[in-house]
Amino acid sequence: GENVEQHPSTLSVQEGDSAVIKCTYSDSASNYFPWYKQELGKRPQLIIDIRSNVGEKKDQRIAVTLNKTAKHFSLHITETQPEDSAVYFCAAVYSGGGADGLTFGKGTHLIIQP
């Protein structure tokens, strides 16, 4: 089955700086890679996703890159703000076009220092 490794487990950055979280996956068949943000005591919420036919995707201050050859993908957050503080999870799955069971990384606790 799929295995997803996520690094770092904790990341502390100054407000306004950039943050990068990296994930690797094991199953070359995986073709869908979402990122979820989870605030303390809340549900995970999708912030961005990417499919394997795309190398990069951007949504305002958030971007995701995918390297299929190396089997790794990364989340980039620019101009970090206090509200970006949360735990971020990457995930991977082979999807036939619909929702399928995700394999998650262990999460990264992002701390934005004022």
Nearer to other proteins, 96 or 114 (CB): 96
Residue 103 CB, shortest distance to other proteins, in Å, is: 7
Strand partners, 58: 63
Residue 26: how many CB atoms within 10 A of its CB?
Answer: 13
Residue 8 CB, shortest distance to other proteins, in Å, is: 15
Helix (H/G/I), strand (E/B), else coil: 70: coil
Please say whether the beta carbons of 80 and 17 come within 8 A: yes
Residue 12 CB, shortest distance to other proteins, in Å, is: 20
User: Among 65, 107, 111, which Cα is nearest to 89's?
Assistant: 107
Nearer to other proteins, 80 or 91 (CB): 91
Nearer to other proteins, 42 or 61 (CB): 42
Residue 98 CB, shortest distance to other proteins, in Å, is: 3
Contact residues for other proteins (CB under 8 A)?
A: 32, 34, 36, 42-46, 49, 51, 89, 93, 95-107
69: Cβ–Cβ under 8 A, 6 or more apart, which residues?
Answer: none
